[in-house]
Amino acid sequence: MKHKTCVSIAENTPTKLKKTLKIALKKSDYAEIRFDFLKAEQIPKALNMVKAELTRAVCTLRPKTEGGAFEGSEKERISILKLISEYNPFLLDVEYNTIKKHKDLEKYLRSSKTKLLVSWHDFKKTPNSANLKNQLKKMSRHSSIVKIVTTAKTVDDSTRVLELYNKKGKTTLIAFSMGDAGRISRILCLYLGSPYTYVSLGKPVAPGQFSLDEVKKITNLKK
């Protein structure tokens, strides 16, 4: 079984984004485009520049409250998410809190048949098992593709997150932990059913993220 990777890209100009995306997709199965690192007015241009590659792209537009860099209003962010959906990316990653709050956005994405990835991050801790399972259940009502990421202080924290793979049912689950104590979960999730793991081309975009080369070395080890 080939373990798949998704390179996180956080560039601040459309030209840099196009260049880095081309490099990433030569080496990796998918790329995550962090559109929140661009200025809002640059995003339409960037979408046109990379539209041919979006069939292998996970698109995100994170607000600052969700660990992102988008500085515009929430109304503007919602309209840009709708615009991104019109380009039919491989996945459009929208935060659970956003989908829960903006029913009109969810309705719009359903009508446009956008492949929605609903995500939830805890940047401070890892909740207990019951809360994690409940979170998965609530998120699965909005999409069959769910991403749950916590912050691990101990290996036990990572283990609790990975136990979610036993509860996922028909849901396609991407679950792991950030931070040094969570690094191993970024690898183990591949063996438990995650469709891919997030990697960098060198400098980590998130705490504890492996580089693409590191993951390839680890997952290609011979017995």
Catalytic residue positions, numbered: 121, 147
**What is the number of other CB atoms lying within 10 angstroms of the CB of residue 194?**
24
**Calculated CA dihedral for residues 120, 123, 128, 130, nearest 10 degrees:** -10
